Amino acid sequence: MTPSQAHAVQPPMGMLAELTHRCPLQCPYCSNPVALERRRHELDTVTWRRVFAEAAELGVLQVHLSGGEPALRPDLPELVAACVDAGLYSNLITAGVNIDRARLETLAEAGLDHVQLSFQGATPEVTDHVANMSGAHARKRAFAAEVTDVGLPLTLNAVIHRANLHQIDDFVDLAVELGARRLEIAHAQYYGWALVNRAALMPSREQVMAAVERVEAARERLQGRLVIDAVVPDYHARLPKPCMNGWGRQSLNVTPSGKVLPCHAAETIPHLTFWNVAEHALSDIWYDSPAFNAYRGTHWMPETCQDCERKEIDWGGCRCQALMLTGDAAQMDPVCEKSPYHDEVQTLAVRDASGTSEFTYRRFARATEGA
């Protein structure tokens, strides 16, 4: 990248810090890669502190402390404090099943700004089944009450799929009951473990449209009381979503072992090499790494995208999805109605919407199969 090109790239606003891939839950839609990274490869506390300092210097405003389950890191309070020291807003993304009141208070005292709590269902039966953990729902409810009791703002996140789509209204009621300020209704996106389970997760178009209507009705009813964000599944769309608001435009992911990615699924693109924070400064990775520059901007786009009035709105859509569904990461996102693959994607969605109901649960054992 030339100096003038580097100057044109804006600094990122957000960073997803995947502290670990370890997790007590086994959600079949997890966005972690199927080949999960082991604990022995995780960055240590000192390195994460340096990364947070470099992120703030680069221009990052907020850090999402994620996993797996970030609370499995014993040094989580130290990492929250490191965000505070760097002047970063910290959001803990957690399953909420392994943080007791004392540890939550320690995190709050360390300076944690926000908690995002996942619910796999709006009732115990659905949550415990999807998470493959008995008692998970009750523990999540208790944790949510403690979050609001210590004065931290709370967001509930519900990944939506065929097994819980009927609970949209119940998720909304749950968020209101638990005192959440925000609710994310995010339909499963088919990468990582969700791709493995696509035939068990994919809803029909009719189900998706009905869910959208219920979300809109709830937004109108609860305006001023609860913010509801919604993401629909790409396979039922006419136009692509901007991947992470554009590849290498606003955010970056750091994996447990320190690889820096433009999005959580980017490692599925085999010809890209991802620089590691153990070997490169975060600013060098953001501005100069070949992986971030590969699909940044519009220069890489095929002719149809180059001529499209939406090219700087959706930024070409999802590169990982293009690779999965067409075999070419530089192809048009196949959910776009202008793509020659669009009808094939719609047919695939219809097929999988009537597929199996059996989950392949997220487990570390799968990462070593065949090894």
Question: Would you list which residues are annotated within the binding site for [4Fe-4S] cluster?
Answer: 23, 27, 30
Distance CA(201)–CA(186), nearest Å, equals: 13
Distance CA(119)–CA(125), nearest Å, equals: 12
Distance CA(160)–CA(188), nearest Å, equals: 6
**Letter for the amino acid at 316?**
G
Contact, 35 vs 367, CB < 8 A?
A: yes
Distance CA(48)–CA(54), nearest Å, equals: 10
Strand partners, 98: none
Cα-to-chain-centroid distance, residue 191: 10
* Residues of each annotated binding site: 23, 27, 30
Cα-to-chain-centroid distance, residue 185: 12
Tokens of 349: 């969605």
